[in-house]
Amino acid sequence: MVDYIGVTDVARLIQAIGPGKFIERLALEILADYRRWHEFEKSARMASHSEVGVIELMPTSDGRLFSFKYVNGHPKNTAEGLLTVTAFGVLADVATGYPLLLSELTVTTALRTAAMSALAAQWLARRDNRVMALIGNGAQSEFQSIAFHRMLGIRVLRLYDVDPLATSKLERNLRAMPELRDLELVRTSSTTEACRGADIVTTVTADKKNAVILTPPMVAPGMHLNAVGGDCPGKTELHGDILRMPQARVIVEYEPQSRIEGEIQQMDASYPVTEFANVVLGRAPGRRSDSDITIFDSVGFALEDYSALRFLHALLNEGHIPRRQIDLVPVLDNPKDLFGGTLGAGVARPRLIKTG
């Protein structure tokens, strides 16, 4: 039997632990895994692109556990009442190849993306951050807001979205959370206005195109840019001249993947970037001075999903939710007799229940 965590299970976990604390604990798990970067198999994700979206597989292993995530990205889905991103994942035992956990990762991906964003900002942003511009107020925006409030001490959010209803949704959801009662929400009329006075700018837009969300005049010395939305080929958010600014320092998760999918797909192969693992391991500086413009070119990496799946599996032992299991793998008296143990004579078969 294989442990199973569904959407309702994750919702109950968040209610039991609290969203801010959950994100913070998940960020610590991600940090611990980045600190053993050398132990992981690393590869760019396998992607199947179409005109309307992308379907991807994201595998990794540390030699003891293996994980993969199935994830899609279809920006036009919302027009049909569907989610832009859905995902599920598997955690498996390398020694036997047996799956240990099958889990939803749609909600969990939003949580781990926010956890990774805030974790990177802890290492890259200035220490006196209080104001963040949040450009794009869709499905990821609440999670980013909670993470930066909890982990960075953000107290003012300057909001902008081309869809005013998205901003209204975000305001309504955040104001309903007691833990965010000291978070001031400022609705703005443009990206330029949202960025004015911000210490951190988070861009998390959904359109699958080379968009220009931020331009150099919007970027001030000392800012930290959390570029989340550009996460596949042909999809970016930052004007290329921001990356060329003398003070700019770009930090990525896994360089070979970010060269294909990140903001740096706009630049040639000689453009210098730093992998986040090298920052946390002390091999490279993140921010060198208060005037640096640090850019976290976030596309999401398989290690973060590994951390999330490992964390979810560990939480089953804390008793927050009932443990559920599914018969994903046959259990046989004779492992050499798959047919006899599943389809052969005398094996219990499900009864058909007539209805109507």
pLDDT tens, residue by residue, 303-326 = 999 999 999 999 999 999 999 999
Length of the chain: 356
Q: What is the pLDDT of residues 218-243, one digit of tens each?
A: 999 999 999 998 777 788 999 999 99
Give the pLDDT score at 280.
Answer: 98
Q: What is the pLDDT of residues 61-77, one digit of tens each?
A: 999 999 999 999 888 89
Shared-domain flag, residues 42 and 169: no
Shared-domain flag, residues 136 and 238: yes
Give the pLDDT score at 353.
Answer: 47
Q: Is residue 353 part of a domain?
A: no
Residue in 97, 33, 77 with CA at minimum distance from that of residue 254: 33
Q: Is residue 62 part of a domain?
A: yes
Shared-domain flag, residues 309 and 293: no
For the chain, the average pLDDT equals 94
Q: Is residue 115 part of a domain?
A: no
Give the pLDDT score at 174.
Answer: 98
- Measured distance CA(243)–CA(230) in Å, rounded: 14
Residues with Cβ within 8 Å of 69's Cβ and at least 6 positions away in sequence, in order, are 56, 57, 58, 87, 88, 89, 105, 109, 302, 305
Q: Is residue 354 part of a domain?
A: no
Alpha-carbon separation of residue 337 from 27, 42, 207, 317 (angstroms) = 44, 36, 51, 33
Task: Tell me which DSSP letter residue 254 carries.
Answer: -
Shared-domain flag, residues 141 and 91: no
CATH number at residue 52: 3.30.1780.10
Shared-domain flag, residues 30 and 46: yes
Shared-domain flag, residues 195 and 273: yes
User: What is residue 313's three-state secondary structure?
Assistant: helix
Q: Which of 279, 300, 321 is the last residue of a domain?
A: 300
Q: What is the pLDDT of residues 133-181, one digit of tens each?
A: 999 999 999 999 999 999 999 999 999 999 999 999 999 999 999 999 9
Residue in 321, 336, 266, 330 with CA at minimum distance from that of residue 295: 266
Element (H, E) at 277: helix 276-280
Tokens standing for residue 32: 């611990």
Shared-domain flag, residues 57 and 179: no
Task: State the amino acid at position 172 in one-letter form.
Answer: R
Task: State the amino acid at position 49 in one-letter form.
Answer: H
Q: Is residue 352 part of a domain?
A: no
Shared-domain flag, residues 170 and 209: yes
Residue in 297, 258, 299, 134 with CA at minimum distance from that of residue 204: 134
Q: Is residue 144 part of a domain?
A: yes
| Model confidence, pTM | 0.93
Catalytic residue among 231, 292, 297, 305: 231
Q: Which of 300, 319, 351 is the last residue of a domain?
A: 300
Catalytic (active site) residue 161: no
Range of the domain at 146: 124-300
Give the pLDDT score at 186.
Answer: 98
Residue 211 φ then ψ, to 5°: -85, 160
Residues with Cβ within 8 Å of 252's Cβ and at least 6 positions away in sequence, in order, are 258, 262, 264, 273, 274, 275, 276, 297, 299
Shared-domain flag, residues 320 and 219: no
Give the pLDDT score at 354.
Answer: 47
Shared-domain flag, residues 163 and 243: yes
Exposure on the CB side of residue 64, measured as CA atoms within 13 A? 3
Count Cβ atoms below 10 Å from residue 12 Cβ, excluding itself: 15
Q: Is residue 117 part of a domain?
A: no
CATH number at residue 207: 3.40.50.720
Is 70 exceeded by the pLDDT of residue 350?
no
Task: State the amino acid at position 66 in one-letter form.
Answer: F
Shared-domain flag, residues 309 and 245: no
Question: With contact defined as beta carbons under 8 Å apart, do 232 and 54 qualify?
Answer: yes
Q: Is residue 23 part of a domain?
A: yes
Please state the domain count of the chain. 2
Shared-domain flag, residues 142 and 282: yes
Q: Kindly indicate the confidence band of residue 60, based on its pLDDT and cuts at 50, 70 and 90.
A: very high
